Chain A
Amino acid sequence: DAGVIQSPRHEVTEMGQEVTLRCKPISGHNSLFWYRQTMMRGLELLIYFNNNVPIDDSGMPEDRFSAKMPNASFSTLKIQPSEPRDSAVYFCASSRGQGDEKLFFGSGTQLSVL
């Protein structure tokens, strides 16, 4: 099993640019999560999908952030336009069942917005 795969591993962009982060969950997992990690705020849950449907997006900071899961094997997190305060490590995680089961995390995308 390849695990949760995220791309890119690092992203450096300029303020105002669009950023798209990608995630491939583990095959057979029904739940997918996007988390953001910063020193100041720790790990924050941004959005949670179950069976490709967004269940809870209350953690999405503002309208500049959007997430999609067009099928069971792919999800994207988009920031448009990006701002320096969006700089963080973004993690994707998946789990077999409901959101409170064991999570498998990807290696993360280190985003720097200049």
Chain B
Amino acid sequence: SQQGEEDPQALSIQEGENATMNCSYKTSINNLQWYRQNSGRGLVHLILIRSNEREKHSGRLRVTLDTSKKSSSLLITASRAADTASYFCATSGTNDYKLSFGAGTTVTVRA
């Protein structure tokens, strides 16, 4: 079963705009990760944020984590056409080490 649920399911933006997507989960976590998947390819790890962290940055990516609300957000700033992909959040619970993936947000960046 999927632990994380991404919102929105799909997002279309103009190149240069920011893209924000959210992930909500149900149970306590060890960490939360974001992955990108280009069409027909495997998933690529973007960023990992641990349960005791609130914010992390990596290049044009910014991830926040609010454990009280059981939610996370991924912000992509100054989007590019190459950012067109599906983005997934994945969580690992405190009682096991398995990663459970959400259904993903499909982002389309228009030139």
A contact set with B: CB distance below 8 Å? 4, 33, 35, 42-43, 45, 48, 56, 91, 93, 98-108
Q: Are A99 and B99 in contact (CB under 8 A)?
A: yes
B30–A108 touching, CB < 8 Å: no
Chain B binding site: helix, strand, loop or mixed by DSSP?
strand
| Stretch in B15-23, B43-51, B65-73, B77-85 with 4+ CB within 8 Å of A | B43-51
What is the interface residue range for chain B against chain A?
Answer: 20 to 34
- Asked if A105 and B98 sit within 8 Å, CB to CB, the answer is no
Task: Report 18 cross-chain contacts, Cβ distance below 8 Å, ordered by A residue.
Answer: A4-B42, A33-B99, A42-B2, A45-B99, A45-B100, A48-B98, A56-B98, A91-B42, A98-B97, A99-B92, A99-B97, A99-B98, A100-B31, A101-B48, A102-B48, A103-B33, A105-B42, A106-B42
Q: Measuring CB to CB, which residues of chain B are less than 8 angstroms from any residue of chain A? A: 2, 30-31, 33, 35, 41-45, 48, 88, 90, 92, 96-104
